[in-house]
Chains A and B, each alone.
Chain A
Amino acid sequence: MPILDLARGPHTLSRYDVIGMYADKERRLIAHVGLHDADRCSAEAEDDVYAVHMRPPLGRGEAMKVHVAGHVPLTSDEIKELSAWIAEVADEYHTAGAERTRQYVVDPPWKDEVDPNTRVRRYRRYSCVGFVLDGYRQVSIELLKIEAAELPEVDRHTIAAIYPMAGQQSRLLPKFGLCGDGPWRVVLPGYVLHALNRTSAQIRQKPYCAEFGNERF
């Protein structure tokens, strides 16, 4: 099975498996996802595992609490490609401890910041799930349909549960690309785990179309 429910006992995580963390274990609401940043290691729910993930800032090789994980077998060549991609973009996420929300965006799940006069790209903002999705795109695996028309509506209450600070400080919402009062059609972290809850062939064949309620897993 591509999904590893770590609450049911330890599972072996492979490099760049998708790891997820609950905001609310009872409701199984996924607040955060990242990529497992180590070769095979055994983990169970609540363990801290090495991750590369958009917190923000981008964390590399640091501990992230894990509750659930998704696995699609990657070839060693695909792992090398993903590693090269991470090395390519990593400089864009050093922050020297300064403002970190600048690297983050919820809608769209990634967005290039460009110079307004030359249109030259400076860096790419990501949500945590956007970083995971873009990573898998580097090896031609489109995990999710991310076009707004293909996404379920999400209300302010759900956004506040996943992004508590944004819920408390509504002025943060436009910074993250969420204008107006909602609902919004945005990519949430839980969706990627549903995308991985399919056979490997299905995962590689076509992107998953998220459904209402998929923010929980």
Chain B
Amino acid sequence: MVLAESAAVERPLHGRDSETNADDISLWAPAVLAAEILQADAQSDLPRLRKMILLAEDTSFTVNDSSRLAPWFLNFAKRYRDSTDPHDEAVVLAAIRTGASMLAPDDADSLHPLLQPGHSVETSLVTVKMLGRIFEAQPPMDVDRHADLAEEVAQIAESLLNRYAITVSQSAAMAHLAIYALAAMASSETCRVVSIARDLGAAWFVRRLRRKLCELREVWANRTAVVPDAPRALLNRAIDVLGAD
């Protein structure tokens, strides 16, 4: 930790030294935070709302609150991704991470709009990343259960799988994350896309992709609930396509 920064560590969030507990959102119970977020509207104090969204990422909500918060966070991200206020970028990205983390696989389609590029806040990378994490934690029951979403993710991966794009670390990261998401959602497109990655002739790119897919295999192997055969077999084939290190 940087010493010069340490003095700011516990600075009150609202800039007042004598806040009551009711004002200090960091002291709110999860249910209170959920209720305050859900009743926020266009007239709400935006700086305060931003703080609540950032705090929500560190908060454990009930299943019931999560089911109402997830669409709220994703709608917030859709509404504010065209904002040019620099404060909104962090909040939009946190809203996507938090909202997506609450989704069951069957609701993952609600992330589809956030894959679209061309907005002031670039949401595609974090959305692709969260798709991978949703299916990593909640593996699909079979192959191609999420074909529409997989088609979009495969398009993202293919658009970036060329020797020029992957020289930019952001594009390389996005390509890795997209392939990871494809494998995690058990898309039958996975092996085809992985073979495109292999044929780029970029050893580092293939090595990192192999590492990530092997990590997914390990996560699935360590689950108490068994991952169905078909997604596991598909993942193994994808790793085989990449060959040995």
Contacts and interface: CB of A to CB of B under 8 A. Distances in A.
Which range contains the number of A residues in contact with the other chain? 35 or more
Interface in B212-226: none
A100 interface: yes
Interface string B194-209: 0000000001110110
A122 B1 contact: no
Contacts of A7: none
B241 interface: no
Interface residues of B, number: 58
Nearest to B97: A122
Q: Is the interface of A mostly helix, strand, loop or mixed?
A: mixed
B38 interface: no
Interface of A: 21, 23, 31-32, 53, 55-56, 64, 77-78, 80-81, 83-88, 91-92, 94-102, 104, 113-123, 127-128, 138, 140, 162-165, 169, 172
A98 B50 contact: yes
23 contacts: A53-B2, A77-B207, A84-B205, A87-B170, A91-B93, A96-B50, A96-B88, A96-B91, A98-B50, A98-B54, A99-B51, A102-B54, A104-B1, A114-B101, A115-B60, A120-B101, A120-B133, A120-B138, A122-B97, A122-B98, A128-B1, A140-B211, A172-B10
Given A91-B126, A122-B98, A98 B51 contact: yes
B242 interface: no
Contacts of B204: 77-78, 80-81
Interface string B113-139: 000000000000110011001101110
Interface stretch (B142-150, B171-179, B230-238): B171-179
B40 to A, nearest CB: 16
Contact of B101 (A95, A122, A169): A122
B66 A97 contact: no
A164 B138 contact: no
B26 interface: yes
B35 interface: no
Contacts of A95: 54, 90
Contacts of B8: 100
B89 A96 contact: yes
A56 B6 CA distance: 9
Contact of A118 (B9, B104, B169, B203): B104
Contact of A101 (B10, B51, B169): B10
B17 interface: no
Given A101-B10, A115-B102, A122-B97, A55 B5 contact: yes
A120 B208 contact: no
Contacts of A114: 101, 137
A165 B125 contact: no
A92 B6 contact: no
A120 B104 CA distance: 10
Contacts of B45: none
Given A55-B2, A85-B173, A118 B54 contact: no
A117 B65 CA distance: 11
A102 B100 contact: no
Contacts of B55: 98-99, 102
A118 B134 contact: yes
B169 A83 contact: yes
Contacts of B1: 31-32, 55-56, 104, 127-128, 162-163, 165
A101 B137 contact: no
A163 B101 contact: no
Given A81-B208, A96-B87, A118 B26 contact: no
Contact of B130 (A23, A56, A120, A172): A120
Contacts of A56: 1, 5
A98 B50 CA distance: 9
A94 B93 contact: yes
A133 B173 CA distance: 19
A165 B66 CA distance: 34
